[in-house]
Amino acid sequence: MGENQKESKILEDCAEIAQKLKLNPNIKNTQITINIPGNKFLGIILEIEEFVRIRVDRNQSKISVDIEEVEFIFTKD
C-alpha cells in the first residue's frame, strides 16, 4: 500500500497546488514544468493514464495534464 500511495502522490500534490493557485485572483494562466528522473517517468505516465482513463504513448519524453486550469508538464530528465 505504501508504494501505491507514493506513486499517486504526485498528482495529488499537483491538485493541491492547482486549487491554491485558483484561489489567487492575480494568477490567470499557469504552466508548471516538472522534471522527472528517467527511471520514474513510466510511473508518472501510468498514473496519468489511470487519472484520465486513456492509454498514452509510453515512449514520449513529455506529457501534460490540466488540473483546475493549471497545466502540469512532466518531462523526462
Range of the domain at 20: 2-76
24-31's contacts with Cβ under 8 Å and 24+ in sequence apart are 30/69, 30/70, 30/71, 31/70, 31/71, 31/73
Q: How many domains, in total, are found in the chain? A: 1
Amino acid at 70: V
pLDDT in tens, the chain (77 residues): 344 444 458 999 999 999 999 999 998 889 999 999 999 999 999 999 998 899 999 999 999 999 999 999 999 99
pTM for the whole structure? 0.83
Cα 23 versus chain centre, distance: 19
* Short-list 76, 67, 13, 2, CA closest to 39: 76
